[in-house]
Amino acid sequence: METNQTALQGLWLPLVTPFRDGALDEVSLRRLVRHFACEPVDGLILGATTGEGLTLEEAEAERLIRVTADELAAIGRRLPLYLGLSGSDTRKGVKALARTATWGADGYLIACPYYTRPSQQGLVAHFEALADSTQRPILIYNIPYRTGVNLGNEAMLALAGHANIAGVKDCCADPAQSFDLMRRKPAGFAVLTGEDAFFYGALTQGADGGILASAHVETRAFVEVRDRLARGDQAGALSAWHRLCDLPRLLFAEPSPSPIKHWLWRAGLIDSPEVRLPMTPVSDTLAARIDQAVGAAKAGAHRSPTT
């Protein structure tokens, strides 16, 4: 069995799933993959929250993985691909891991069981059962404001000792809990923030990176913040973050991923901003704000001497 000693780090992108006329838009998906394969991202998460995974049929999720892997292979870029999974029945989770084992994912992002609100003991037993049933690494997704249950640090640290529980996407929304986890986590167990607006702060406190939906836009600017901190240039990192920090506010002004899809559509990276119910398109007001920001970004890129 592989171990979690190959730590996850850097900037991971939770890729949107493009739709058109109700179906998976493979043309736009391939365009997205080619685009972000040229960006300094360290991995892709497919079919998770930003990828509207709960609305995907199983055949669509499999196709999502296979098309992405094929496109990366065709252009010669090796990027790890993690598949988002969620559910409240441990037995069904084990079966899902078995069904998806041949799809080509390198690992899984698995959310805490939602709605049922199990105890800490139940959460540990749940993730241990899942981890025991696969040889691929698992990244725990702790996001209590969506699931209704918080995986506390004592339980998290117990799970960190499992051979193929590689880390956590941390959205616990408690800065003290996050800092305590980063302070106490063992080597090889990654803490990646999933809170876009707190990326800079999380890095300064010891996070290994982030899984950031906002990094669909200004990808290199997010990487610059990380790289400057890694070089010890905290002033430069803070300056870079000051230029960037309004972007997550814009892209999360309405439920994600609708704003991000609207931006990508206006930027020509996907052919439709379509989302699946219960998600709805952005309001006219937000659409106008995003259109203005896209126009400003294009004008700035046109003026840049490096492009």
Q: What is the mean pLDDT of the chain?
A: 95
Please report the pLDDT score of residue 298 as a whole number.
86
Catalytic residue among 169, 185, 200, 261: 169
Q: CA 139, 143, 144 angle in degrees (round to 5)?
A: 135
Burial 129-159 (b: 16+ CB within 10 A, else e): ebbebbebbbbbbbbbeebebbbbbebbebb
95 catalytically annotated: no
What is this structure's pTM? 0.95
Domains (ranges, CATH) in the chain?
A: 10-243 (3.20.20.70)
Beta strands of 92-137 (E only): which ranges?
A: 107-111
Q: Which residues are annotated as a binding site for pyruvate?
A: 50, 211
Active site residue 141: yes
Neighbours of 77 (CB within 10 A): 14
pLDDT at 306 over 50: no
202 contacts: CB under 8 Å, gap ≥ 6: 170, 178, 182, 191, 193, 195, 210
Pick the catalytic residue: 82, 92, 114, 141?
Answer: 141
Q: What is the pLDDT of residues 4-34, one digit of tens each?
A: 444 699 999 999 999 999 999 999 999 999 9
The answer for residues whose C-beta is within 8 angstroms of residue 267's C-beta and 6 or more apart is 217, 294, 297, 298
